[in-house]
Structure 1
Amino acid sequence: MRFPYSKQGHLRFVTPLLVSLFLALHQLQHTLASPLYLDAVLSLDLEELAPAFDFIVVGGGTAGLAVASRLATNLSSTVLVIEAGSNQEDNPGVFTPGLAGSTIGSPIDWSFNTVPQTQANGRVINYPRGKGLGGSSLINFQAYTRGCAAEYAAWASLGGSGWDWNSLKVYFKKSGKLHPPTGNSQNEHVDYDSTANGASGPIDQSFPPYMAEQLAGWHQAVLSLSIPIAKDQGNGKNVGVSYIASTIDPSVHRRRTSVGYLEDNAIQPNLVVLTNAHVTRINWSPLKVYGNVVASGVTFVGGDGLPINVTASREVILSAGSVQTPQLLELSGVGDPAILTPLGIPVVVNLPGVGANMQDHPMAINIYRLKPGIDSLDNLLNDPIFLATSLAEYAVGEGILTDFVYPVAFLSSSQFLSTADQQTTFNLLSASNNPWLSSKQLAATAGLLTGGSPIIEFVPANAFFGDGSRNGSSYISLAAAVQHSLSRGTIHISSTNPFNPPNINPKYLQSPADQFLLAKAGQWNRQLAALAPLAQYIDTEVVPGPLVQSQADWEAWVKATVSTEFHAIGTASMLPRADKGVVDNCLKVYGTTNVRVVDVSVVPLHLSSHMQAIAYAIAERAADLIL
């Protein structure tokens, strides 16, 4: 894939060493396959030559590229995107659907870790985030879901007027292009609603041609429990089991990342995308407007290690994600004085909500060895012949490498808990069990947990997902994740060094309700694996294994193994300032005139969904608000 320079003003991918030269001359004659080819070009002084951009977008990730591209449709405005990583669209680990997850721990992963988790046996848990154009849309598992309408109503009720389901559905549709299913290798029927989905947006969604037989068996096993079919994950009614769309372009069988926005609007002479540049702080004007501070631009560091300032005449937009958006705010003096003052950072805006209210989807995984002859993605590692065959099939758009996630089930409490267990859950929702929650947050979360919204996502993965050796076998992993955790974590800096990662503390299992629900979900997965449609493919349970039987055993197992779906939200929440909010319902950071946050860190209450759909919708709505 190429993004050429031209006199006509094609989209520009530039590195810090060349950005000032571009800004001075407004044209280049090179044709590039990768911005890395420009590292040797000498630059001029950006601070002397660069005119002010109207908008600076910090982070070329899932939301960042989307909002930047939409803002650049106004050709009278200039837009700069600054991304710490590089262009990875030609990385096979990125574009091959079946290799999703293979780049975790690679150079395109920030490779964060949590602090030791007190309620999870003191374990440190890996916390990957995508580093490169596309952000975490480079390394996620491509699942496209939106959550349910009641969750957006709860968001709006907490102070997010204009962010209810009916307000957002137009933006979900605007961002996407759903390709109707054309059949699959198991001849399974796939439900979808064309009226709920976009038809011409930049992010392709499709139903891949390959479906593992054991995944179809999982789907049939869930249906045998009288779980209803969720007709479409795009219509705000997601309770039930369904085959979900993946962000895959079916014409070429490649993952579609947010770089699709740049391809969709390829000729935008007013849009500059700067790669390999790490933003270290927001810069502030000495003047205030009605008591609010004004951002004058940002400082970034390129490959040569030297700081460069660039000016924003209108707005600085933070799209660095739930981990790095609060980090950058704090490094810039916006946050809780209790965090900033001990580090010697002058408090520019006293905003204690920065980095607070972190929520995630804690997850536990049962793992089953499959019977001999049943293929999974594990065989790509185990069997050279299988790998060669799979690569040949992928070359013609077929086989196991064309897909990763297919069926999921989002279930309400009554669909997987007994009456007694529902009562136990209700009892665990008390304020005494969750004293860190405000009354508003507790009421909103409890309402979702008991009101018929999905509280657990069940999803099978066609591979071994866990610690330990595959031992040359193939596996299916049955994951369960709490969708409305009552635990609340934090992400805060511990150093003034912008290259040091922040302290990520999700506080997994802080609430006893989370631990109870995950233990019950593990038991539900074991029961599901014993049902004939799925059991016919299973040899034996590997995790947690037969020694785990009692509720106490299951809860101990959860503490020993809990992980995450990597769905952090809330660290720059859209809440009233008095409720530890960080942004208002126009995404403007309190106490500032021209700093917005456009990423999922603004979501104040979790959704029963994977995150990329809402990231795109936030970006689309942000662009409309700004324009």
Structure 2
Amino acid sequence: MGNLFSQTYLDDASTLTDKFYDYIIVGGGTAGCVLANRLSVDPSVNVLVVEAGGSHEQETFSKIPVAFSKLFKTRADWAYDTIPQPGLNERELFWPRGKLLGGCSSMNAMMYHHCSPTDFDEWESKGAKGWNYNDLLPYFRKAENFTPKLRSSEVKPEDRGSGGLWQTSHSYITPINEKFIDAAKDIGIPYNPDINTRKGSLGVTKFMTFIDPKGQRSSAATSYLSKDVLGRKNLTVLVGTMTTKVLFSSDEIPRTVGIEVAKTASSPRYKLQCRREVILSAGAVNTPQILLLSGLGPKEELEKMDVPVVKDLPHVGKNLRDHLAGGVILRSKPGTTLDYLADPIKSLPAIFQWFIFGTGPATTNVGEAAAFVRSNDATLPLTSQRADDFTAGDKLVDTTSGPNSPDIEIIGAPMAFLDHGFGTLPPQASCFTMAPILLRPLSVGQVTLASSSPFDKVLIDPNYLSHPNDAKILTRAVRLILHIARAASLQPELSLPPVSQSSSLDKMDLFYPGDVDPDMISDIDIVEWIKRNVETLYHPMGTARMSPDEKSGVVDVDLKVWGVTGLRVVDASIFPTAVSGHPCAPVIAVAEKAADIILETAAQD
């Protein structure tokens, strides 16, 4: 049988080389877990999942909601870095990506968000027939099992899914974030109790999460790979194993026949055989890498790396989009935030409460509340009053997917989230963070091979702020944050300096620009802060986009890779355009729909 990783998971591919699988799923992440569950329902079908990382069950920090960043730069993280970014002062940005069952759903901040209905209508308008919001809504609801916790009048049961495998609800919220919601309302942002309906995201809201009734993360792995599912005799989960490439026949139209795998660069490579389909669900970084290593991609790039060309697909690895986010840190009154949770000793009571009761501050998802707005909303204080500033009269490109869709998100977090959780605060500091997020960037990047070795990390170039419109939108978002911070509802919670000190503040200080009055800071100063401070919000997408033909993308509307047979892609890399929010729920809905497409295809054969 080989070495058992546990009673459930295999970690030795050599025991599988004489077997044939109907479906091989490459990547046991967010989409891969959904597919593994749905495709293995039929006991006559053999399904193999190949995951480079290990089990989510071994990672305690994956279970504790507030502790998600403790997984960064561990064995559960691919821990990528971008190449130097000219638009961000040549900084190389850290990109954590989940390397465990459940993928990023096992290590993200647990925001449950459909994004904007018009995001998906836009997909269809660009040729992705069958992928509009009406088509995807049944799959959002199929996946979800919502537990109501707010007042019944705020969230309508008919708008939520029930009976699904994925647990959603409203979880812990600190009083200061309740005040953040009130402050947003003070300045004219309407309250939206449920941002996951046909009405869309605009407004300020308390985030829905995927934290279960026991106070633990409900990831794609915990939801879709239950003990009963893993006990199916027709489902095999191989962990700790890299997929080095997809294997093809020598037919005129190449047919997928399996995959090649290995544990390390120096270990033996094994061929695993497939009868029907290989499905790449390795994510927006690893999926294009595997496609390129398999000979599917831009011909010139493949030849440069001495990779034999199977099919010239110019768009593999292109169309990379990501959400940029900053962290405006504000001085809060002592006892109003959760910064003490970063202290190993002070956090013990909260951890004990979580361990025993599944309740309390440790069940926060950090991003407890958010406001979604349009950068061209003339009713909000988004622009400068200074005549020499570009926001005073500069016209923006409308990047939204529709008139009721946002291009800015502002998250309220009851702590200072510094350097992805690795930064430390001054002693006794108490902080409230508001994060400006660019939802619809015009800057487009790419993922390319660094070498022909699957064990060398790819080159990631998001090309941040290469389009000037992106910095202009983020500048408006920062200015709006400064106005929210000075709204009446937040004043009892914060300790902001007087306006007279604004001109003498240190631009490198932790509390800059949070300390600055919004009418005292220039657009140029905000842009300089943005370039020094913004980071990824962990939402790469689009690198194997869906398209009506191979001239404009990588997969067709059934998610089949153009020019070959027996190969599909199911993950965030197929997104034709960026969603205006958090992509975890859309990825699961896409995977649910993809499973139906695959099963329907099998039934017709």
TM-score by length of 2: 0.89
Instruction: Please report the RMSD computed on the Cα atoms of aligned residues, expressed in angstroms.
Output: 2.4
Q: Which runs of 5+ in 1 are unaligned?
A: 1-13, 20-29, 184-188, 430-445
Q: How high is the sequence identity, in percent, across the aligned residues?
A: 33
Q: Kindly provide the amino acid, as one letter, of the partner of residue 320 in structure 2.
A: M
Q: How does 1:385-404 map to 2 (within 5 A)?
A: 386-394=346-354, 395-404=356-365
Report if aligned partners of 1:191, 1:243 keep a CA contact under 8 Å in 2.
Answer: no
The yes-or-no answer on 1:310 pairing with 2:272 is: yes
Question: Aligned residue pairs: how many?
Answer: 567
Report if aligned partners of 2:20, 2:275 keep a CA contact under 8 Å in 1.
Answer: yes
Residue number in structure 1 paired with 2:166: 203
* From 478, 489, 506, the counterpart of 2:445: 489
Residue number in structure 2 paired with 1:247: 210
The yes-or-no answer on 1:213 pairing with 2:165 is: no
Q: Deviations over 1:590-623 (max 9, x none)?
A: 0011100000100011112211101101110111
The yes-or-no answer on 1:471 pairing with 2:440 is: no
Structure 2: distance between partners of 1:562 and 1:258:
29
Report if aligned partners of 2:316, 2:554 keep a CA contact under 8 Å in 1.
Answer: yes
Q: Which stretch shifts more, 166-175 or 529-538?
A: 529-538
Residue number in structure 2 paired with 1:364: 326
Residue number in structure 1 paired with 2:469: 513
Report if aligned partners of 1:586, 1:625 keep a CA contact under 8 Å in 2.
Answer: yes
The yes-or-no answer on 1:544 pairing with 2:513 is: yes
Distance change >3 Å, CA 622–CA 552, structure 1 → 2: same
The yes-or-no answer on 1:280 pairing with 2:240 is: no
Residue number in structure 1 paired with 2:85: 117
Q: Which stretch shifts more, 262-271 or 496-505?
A: 262-271
Q: How does 1:163-562 map to 2 (within 5 A)?
A: 163-181=131-149, 191-208=154-171, 210-236=172-198, 237-250=200-213, 252-259=214-221, 260-263=223-226, 265-288=229-252, 292-302=253-263, 305-376=267-338, 378-382=339-343, 384=345, 386-394=346-354, 395-404=356-365, 405-413=367-375, 414=377, 416=380, 427-429=395-397, 446=398, 448=400, 451-467=403-419, 469-472=424-427, 473-540=429-496, 542-544=511-513, 546=515, 549-562=521-534
Structure 2: distance between partners of 1:515 and 1:114:
19
Q: Kindly provide the amino acid, as one letter, of the partner of residue 132 in structure 1.
A: L
Q: Kindly provide the amino acid, as one letter, of the partner of residue 233 in structure 1.
A: I
Residue number in structure 2 paired with 1:106: 74
Report if aligned partners of 2:116, 2:405 keep a CA contact under 8 Å in 1.
Answer: yes
Structure 2: distance between partners of 1:586 and 1:422:
44
Report if aligned partners of 1:363, 1:562 keep a CA contact under 8 Å in 2.
Answer: yes
* From 557, 573, 591, the counterpart of 1:619: 591
Structure 1: distance between partners of 2:13 and 2:25:
22
Structure 1: distance between partners of 2:13 and 2:407:
53
Residue number in structure 1 paired with 2:118: 150
Distance change >3 Å, CA 80–CA 422, structure 1 → 2: farther
Residue number in structure 1 paired with 2:555: 583
Structure 2: distance between partners of 1:451 and 1:43:
51
SS in 1 for 2:250: strand
Post-superposition offset of 1:89: 2.2
Report if aligned partners of 1:190, 1:243 keep a CA contact under 8 Å in 2.
Answer: no
Post-superposition offset of 1:266: 4.5
SS in 1 for 2:225: helix
Q: Deviations over 1:180-235 (max 9, x none)?
A: 1168xxxxx98323212211111100112x32111111011111122222231221
SS in 1 for 2:120: helix
Structure 2: distance between partners of 1:121 and 1:62:
33
Residue number in structure 2 paired with 1:66: 34
Distance change >3 Å, CA 411–CA 379, structure 1 → 2: same
Post-superposition offset of 1:425: 8.8
Structure 2: distance between partners of 1:33 and 1:533:
54
Structure 2: distance between partners of 1:283 and 1:217:
56
Structure 2: distance between partners of 1:149 and 1:412:
15
Distance change >3 Å, CA 388–CA 578, structure 1 → 2: closer
SS in 1 for 2:443: coil
Residue number in structure 2 paired with 1:24: none
SS in 1 for 2:495: strand
Residue number in structure 2 paired with 1:126: 94
SS in 2 for 1:280: strand
Distance change >3 Å, CA 425–CA 560, structure 1 → 2: farther
Distance change >3 Å, CA 417–CA 609, structure 1 → 2: same
Q: Kindly provide the amino acid, as one letter, of the partner of residue 382 in structure 1.
A: D
Q: Which stretch shifts more, 189-198 or 54-63?
A: 189-198
Structure 2: distance between partners of 1:587 and 1:52:
23
